[in-house]
Structure 1
């Protein structure tokens, strides 16, 4: 409907009656081809949706699912609590936001936590922002690995999170492999190791390419990852401001991996 209305108005303003008819035709084509997708995003209300509301949904669901993963093995470990607390500090949450995050974490720990329903709400708020859906999953992967081990229960939850968000199993496995490589790469960078062979292996995994990939393929993968994790882009999509440092760190890790590969190849 919106296509025909706007088409008619614009057409009338530009070309009077002939424009009205042309606008109706173009508007009808729009409604038929893209109207459903436009409506599913909230129509024009989607443009005016309160960004703080979406950011609150991101924040709440992040900590709720973190709590759910932490309790997946039966007992919430000290490492999970420390990680959640450190994450709150890292994000620089206000006192009120910390209380909300703690409440969300406790909600996620409950046996009757409605994971499917929570993820449905989250996806509804971010359905047109796939990069933020991926970042959400990356945060949950880091929660599952807080004790340096991925249990079968944690893996099942990650698989469900990916499924509910429309992320394929293959992409999830690639993200897990990338996370493991990033952790090793960061650790080796901090320790100043000279084990270039292993660092290179991890650098290729971070970019999702292979040692025999072409220069063009490596550059393409690098640019894609940088665009996906660019802080300004994520912020414009609704990323809570407190998560900006995480996005910046991600781009720095990607860039460091790319530069190591470039320097090695000469």
Structure 2
């Protein structure tokens, strides 16, 4: 049973208005819990093979994507295209895509309680650091879907990361790796330029001066973090695993380029 809406609502209400605020906050939190339960129940009927934890992952993913896309006040065609591309990558059928789009619309609402939603998500996955990082990596895709992210989106990403106990430094490293990966994917594989090599180092999170041993260690760590079987065992929905597979292929491509130099 979802309780985080009631808990957070009561605490905020108590801090602002003491006992009357506690009662009002408890009521509002209860209404939030009912809404979240209804949203997850909607997903439960469509993703019957998943448990509650995986349904929470799916709903939180698309709702957060919607909130980040709307951070500047306008959802662009680039954001919509990226969201649809991600849904296609997951192999969702038409009905499932409609529900993912509904979660995306929920997140776009200005009054969507994103922090409370993320807190519930964090409580379920707080012991799975790789899953929390994977969640952030997914959100970077929507934030950079329409060119360089806006300052509003960057600030919102910082809040998302903070709710998931991901440091500012970790977020910056993930962002640098994501941008390098985008450039690396656009390289000419037959004639890799010097900047493609530099991007490959950034994809693996190491410097160009690293040793062969350090390079291999970084590669193995990233492959382990994104291994589909390990992510599934930690509660990532099966529908998300194709994306993880593509990520491991990208990591392998960067490593192969550097290993053969």
Cα distance in 2 for residues equivalent to 1:225 and 1:184: 19
Q: Do the aligned residues in 1 keep the contact of 2:180 with 2:199 (CA within 8 Å)?
A: yes
- The structural deviation recorded for 1:103 is 1.5
Q: How many residues align?
A: 213
Cα distance in 2 for residues equivalent to 1:256 and 1:74: 37
| Alpha-carbon displacement from aligned partner over 1:199-242 (angstroms, at most 9, x marks no partner) | 11001001111111111111111111110001111111111111
Q: State yes or no: 1:114 paired with 2:113.
A: yes
- The structural deviation recorded for 1:148 is 1.8
Q: State yes or no: 1:237 paired with 2:234.
A: yes
Q: State yes or no: 1:261 paired with 2:258.
A: yes
Q: Could you tell me the TM-score, scaled by structure 1's length? A: 0.77
Q: Do the aligned residues in 2 keep the contact of 1:51 with 1:238 (CA within 8 Å)?
A: no
Unaligned runs of 5+ in 1: 1-49
SS in 2 for 1:202: helix
- The structural deviation recorded for 1:146 is 0.2
- The structural deviation recorded for 1:193 is 6.0
Q: Do the aligned residues in 2 keep the contact of 1:54 with 1:125 (CA within 8 Å)?
A: yes
- The structural deviation recorded for 1:259 is 1.1
- Pick aligned residue for 2:198 from 201, 204, 227: 201
Q: State yes or no: 1:226 paired with 2:223.
A: yes
- RMSD over aligned CA atoms reads 1.4
Cα distance in 2 for residues equivalent to 1:92 and 1:244: 10
Q: State yes or no: 1:251 paired with 2:244.
A: no
Matches within 5 A, 1:1-266: 52-188=51-187, 191-192=188-189, 194-264=191-261
Aligned to 2:31: none
